[in-house]
Amino acid sequence: MDEAIRNTIVAIIAEAGRLPVPANTLADEADLYQAGLTSFASVQLMLALEDRFEIEFPDRYLNRRSFSSIAAIGQVVGELLSQREAA
Amino acid sequence: MGFQEPATRLADAAPQDRSAYGLALNRRARRVAEIAARHADAVDREARFPREAVDAMKAEGLLGAMIPVAFGGEGASLADIAMVCSVLGQGCSSAGMIFAMHQIKASSLITHGAENPWHRAFMRRVATEQLLIASATTEAGIGGDLRNSVCAVEQDGGVFTLGKDATVISYGPQADALMVTARRNPDAPSSDQVMAVFTRDQYALHKTGGWDTLGMRGTCSEGFRFEGAAPVEQILPKPFAEIAAQSMLAHSHLLWGSVWSGIAGAALARAQAFVRADARRRPDATPPGALHLADAAAKLQGLHGALSSALRRYEEAKATEDGLSSMGYAVAINNVKLLASRTAVEVCQAAMQVAGIQGYRNDGAYSVGRFLRDAMSAPLMISNDRIVGNTAAMLLVSRLETDLVG
């Protein structure tokens, strides 16, 4: 994952994720739901990601797995960014 | 009294034929519902456990019905179990709800315990010994949010101990096993939870709260201090976050909704009997209550349709990788909960309007007060306010479904 993208994702998780633990202590593969991400916060997180990266999550990414870890978010964001560049 | 005679009288059929199995299961459920109905008024009046109904469920082998055939059960589908819930709910709301809660626990074992030898063996025991499973997921200090725990698993070698101030354990003393949520370890955040199974010989319950409520009085959802110890292999390997999302959400809403539809159906059946008696006395005039009955029958039909399509959708979602965890599915299942809980109350209210003072009385063949009181629990069991808020958040991003899917 691109380091700048990763840092932005961690910053957005810290703002919108409402986790009981600091976002910068999470490993890339750590399960965000176990860390306390609620379904409501995952929506806020997604809206913040859409806003910051100027992307839109299509329906097929609207599931638990897409937001299950920093790595999973990074992969989806990366795909959407490259699709946008290709378009 | 509260439920209708079965239309079909077929001999018990072999489980390999799905539709024949469904009919046989329906007959077994009706036999239990008849027994449950005989005691429903006493269960309600005394706020006692529906012992006769649960004994009948065990005698008919219903508690293990959903367990896969490979683990000693019958492999009943969720739709099969929902049908049983609606039948039992007609006989006795509390008995129907206890059956539903047991099956919700069983679904977590089936979905998340199949890889683990201890849980496989336990499922076999549930099926062969007809063990009744209760749930301890709520706790003092978490504000009703089952996705947070204060208590924690404390592991010592191959054994763990757990103490929990459970504000509600429905039918706790009558259960043969308990499934309890807790933090993974004493250092874990409140949301990092696991779920563990305890058998009756592995825990003690000390009553801390009673259950004197408007309705659903027989679920005996009292408060307890739980103290248990068990081998660590009895902890389900999947995080509880996943168990809640993958098996509990859909099973709870669909099985509760089926019980509520049964309660509404029983109330409306009494209202129909009242209208019919009225019409016999005055054959030349349509009884005034008949129009309310027709209106409520349409609502009940709408609820049956919503539950049936949600049960089909569950099977489709289960067959795809992220189906059950998709936002679109969560929105749909939340909507079914809202519809079922509201409709059940509305239909019971309509039944009372139809039967008038005979419906308002607590005695007599047309009494519908118990059904109305029981149904009024539905909008509060996981508050509809919480569910609407949750759906509203998801609809900020989830695509609105506008096409009719056949």
Nearest to B164 by CA among B180, B176, B147: B180
Neighbours of B168 (CB within 10 A): 18
Interface of A with B (CB under 8 A): 20-21, 31, 33-40, 43-44, 46-47, 57, 59, 62-65
Give the pLDDT of residue B234.
Answer: 98
> Could you tell me which CATH class the domain B18-131 is placed in?
mainly alpha
Question: Structure tokens of B180?
Answer: 């309890």
Give the pLDDT of residue B13.
Answer: 41
The per-residue DSSP string of A35-62 comes to TT--HHHHHHHHHHHHHHHT----GGG-
Three-state SS at B72: coil
Structural domains of chain A sorted by starting position, each given as residue range(s) with its CATH number in brackets: 3-86 (1.10.1200.10)
Asked if the ipTM is above 0.90, the reply is no
Please tell me which residue of chain B has the smallest CA distance to A41: B393
The answer to whether B289 touches B354, Cβ cutoff 8 Å, is yes
- Residues of chain A with C-beta less than 8 angstroms from the C-beta of B192: 34-36
Nearest to B167 by CA among B195, B196, B145, B184: B145
B328 and A38 in contact by Cβ < 8 A?
no
Q: Which burial class, exposed, middle or buried, applies to B327 when counting CB atoms under 10 A from its CB (0-12, 13-18, 19+)?
A: buried
Give the pLDDT of residue B1.
Answer: 41
Mutation test of the interface with chain B: which of A34, A56, A59, choosing the one with the most B Cβ atoms within 10 A? A34
B393 and A59 in contact by Cβ < 8 A?
no
The per-residue DSSP string of B296-365 comes to HHHHHHHHHHHHHHHHHHHHHHHHSTTGGGBHHHHHHHHHHHHHHHHHHHHHHHHHHHHHHHHHHSSSST
- Residues of chain B with C-beta less than 8 angstroms from the C-beta of A26: none
* Residues B311-359 pLDDT 10s: 999 999 988 878 888 888 999 999 999 999 999 999 999 999 999 999 9
CATH of domain B134-234: 2.40.110.10
Share of chain B above pLDDT 70, in %: 96
* Residues A10-51 pLDDT 10s: 999 999 888 888 888 999 999 998 888 887 888 889 999 999
The answer to whether B82 touches B254, Cβ cutoff 8 Å, is yes
Distance to chain A for B189, nearest Cα, Å = 7
Q: Where are the domains of chain B?
A: 18-131, 134-234, 240-394
In chain A, how long is the greatest CA-to-CA distance? 39
What mean pLDDT do residues B166-192 have? 95
Q: B165 phi and psi, to 5 degrees?
A: -90, 85
Please tell me which residue of chain B has the smallest CA distance to A64: B325
Q: Which pTM was predicted?
A: 0.90
A20 and B191 in contact by Cβ < 8 A?
yes
Q: Cβ neighbours of residue B216 under 8 Å, at least 6 residues apart?
A: B93, B94, B97, B374, B377
What mean pLDDT do residues B166-191 have? 96
Query: What is the CATH topology of the domain spanning B240-394?
Result: Butyryl-CoA Dehydrogenase, subunit A; domain 3 (1.20.140)
Give the pLDDT of residue A18.
Answer: 87
Give the pLDDT of residue B16.
Answer: 55
* Residues B37-89 pLDDT 10s: 999 999 999 999 999 999 999 999 999 999 999 999 999 999 999 999 999 99
Q: Could you tell me the CA-to-CA distances from B220 to B80, B90, B207, B217, B368 in Å, in that order?
A: 26, 19, 11, 6, 21
Label residue B292 by pLDDT band (50, 70, 90). Answer: very high
* Residues A47-82 pLDDT 10s: 999 999 999 888 888 888 889 999 999 999 999 999
Q: How far apart are CA B14 and CA B18, in angstroms?
A: 8
Three-state SS at B8: coil
Number of H helices, E strands in chain B: 11, 7
A35 and B191 in contact by Cβ < 8 A?
yes
